[in-house]
Amino acid sequence: MKKRRVVITGVGVISPNGIGKEEAFLAMVAGKSAVKRVDHFDVSIFKSQIAAEVRNFDPFQYGLSHEEVLRMDRYVQFAVVAADMALKDSGLKLSQEDPERIGVSLANAICGTKYMEEEFSFVTDNGKNPIDPSRVRPDLYDAAMFNTPSIEVASKYGFRGICNTLSTGCTAGTDSVGYAFEVIQDGKQDIMITGAAEAPVTPITFGAFDVINVLSARNDDPEAASRPFDNDRDGFVISEGAGILILEELNHALKRGAKIYCEVAGFGTSCNAFHMTDLPADGTAMADCIRLALNDAELNPEEIDYINAHGSSTRMNDVFETNAYKMVFGNYAYNIPISSLKSMIGHPLAAANAIELVISSMIFEKNLLPPTINQINRDPLCDLDYIPNHCREQKVNTILKTSSGFSGIHSSLILKRYI
């Protein structure tokens, strides 16, 4: 049976350099860095003391109640607000839809650490005493669950279809969208709310990444710290945010006259089975998942017009990724414009892919490719066209989004202009 076509009809984004799709997109193409020194907890004990935070987010401004704010960890707030943005953007009249045909598949790599750290401090008097069970808040369990964002979104709007959470680390945003794509293709749902949210800028998470030496220590120049594919890169910058997309079966979207951003054409995922944090330099595993996505989309490599890279700014990843592109595209790799949004917003873990997919879906209308900023001293091993420092005006018909994560998972998604 021929698979159904899937399109993106709504987007919502909370990014460190912009809240809402227009503000975020303008910041990306302007090359605006959001990396600053962390100032809401003591970072002096860490080698890395910087992050890209959403500094002007007021949950009350976006319609959350006092009760909701009290029970929701920050990452849940991001997910709920971004989902509301995306649903409004889609123009869906939910009262006219079958709630059993609408599903939710969201993602995160790390759950409510902010809420749990604050609660632990409260019930132990800053660690001085054993946990006092009588002081534990009854809604702590909700904050601790990985699937709280999906549940909150589904219950808020009464969606009774699929409701799940993917936690595949830093590929989870791409994986959740890929899963939603396949669910609609196969006729199990007509509409999926999908994407990811993260708020990991907390002491315990900061310490966990700092101790394995993956974070940039360029504390004296935060805005220049995230520098994918540059020879002076020294690690990624931890970040936060959310990206939510509304995926919809094509005929359903056309019937209601929806605005279509683009079509989701193909998805592929693979595992390198190599190491929890290290990468094999040859790029084979990422090359495999790119080929899977191309095959799924029924496209030749030469039909890709732009790549939105994982580009994390670590020594290993950026060489690994460059080699993967060369393996798949051969000499054509040198003709493809490629950029990493993490140069501006750092790495919000699972939410990175989701934010990047929101921005990528807007490129088909805007005809502007975001840059990779902080490319000053090009790594000779990363010698492709990484759109250095300034955006590029260019019409594209196909976009490849790549992502990688600790434990060796790699995922790719292909978007194409809807015609």
Query: 391-402 in b/e burial notation, b at 16+ Cβ within 10 A?
Result: bbeeebebbbbb
Average pLDDT for the chain: 93
Q: What is the pLDDT of residues 34-77, one digit of tens each?
A: 999 999 999 999 999 999 999 999 999 999 999 999 889 999 99
Residue 277 confidence (pLDDT): 56
In a domain, 119, yes or no: no
Q: What is the pLDDT of residues 201-243, one digit of tens each?
A: 999 888 888 888 899 999 999 999 999 999 999 999 999 999 9
| % of the chain with per-residue pLDDT over 70 | 95
Residue 274 confidence (pLDDT): 58
Tokens standing for 12?
Answer: 């919502």
Residue 278 confidence (pLDDT): 57
- The confidence band for 326, taking pLDDT boundaries of 50, 70 and 90, is very high
Residue 137 confidence (pLDDT): 76
In a domain, 122, yes or no: no
pTM above 0.85, yes or no: yes
8 Å CB contact between 382 and 368? no
pLDDT at 1 over 90: no
* 3-state secondary structure at position 96: helix
pLDDT at 304 over 70: yes
In a domain, 117, yes or no: no
Q: Is 405 left (phi over 0), alpha (psi -120 to 50) or beta?
A: beta
Q: What is the pLDDT of residues 84-135, one digit of tens each?
A: 999 999 999 999 999 999 999 999 998 777 777 776 777 677 777 787 777 7
In a domain, 255, yes or no: yes
Residues serving a catalytic function are 170, 310, 347
8 Å CB contact between 84 and 244? no
**In the chain, what are the helix, strand and coil shares in percent, each to the nearest 5?**
40, 20, 40
The whole-number average pLDDT for the span 310-329 is 93
In a domain, 136, yes or no: no
375 or 283, higher pLDDT: 375
- Domain of residue 160 covers 6-111+146-416
Backbone dihedral angles phi then psi of residue 134, each to the nearest 5 degrees: -70, -15
Number of domains in the chain: 1
CATH number at residue 394: 3.40.47.10
Q: Give the angle 50-53-54 at the CA atoms, nearest 5°.
A: 165
In a domain, 329, yes or no: yes
- The confidence band for 271, taking pLDDT boundaries of 50, 70 and 90, is confident
Residue 282 confidence (pLDDT): 72
- The confidence band for 7, taking pLDDT boundaries of 50, 70 and 90, is very high
The whole-number average pLDDT for the span 364-392 is 98
131 or 197, higher pLDDT: 197
In a domain, 83, yes or no: yes
In a domain, 253, yes or no: yes
| % of the chain with per-residue pLDDT over 90 | 78
- The confidence band for 392, taking pLDDT boundaries of 50, 70 and 90, is very high
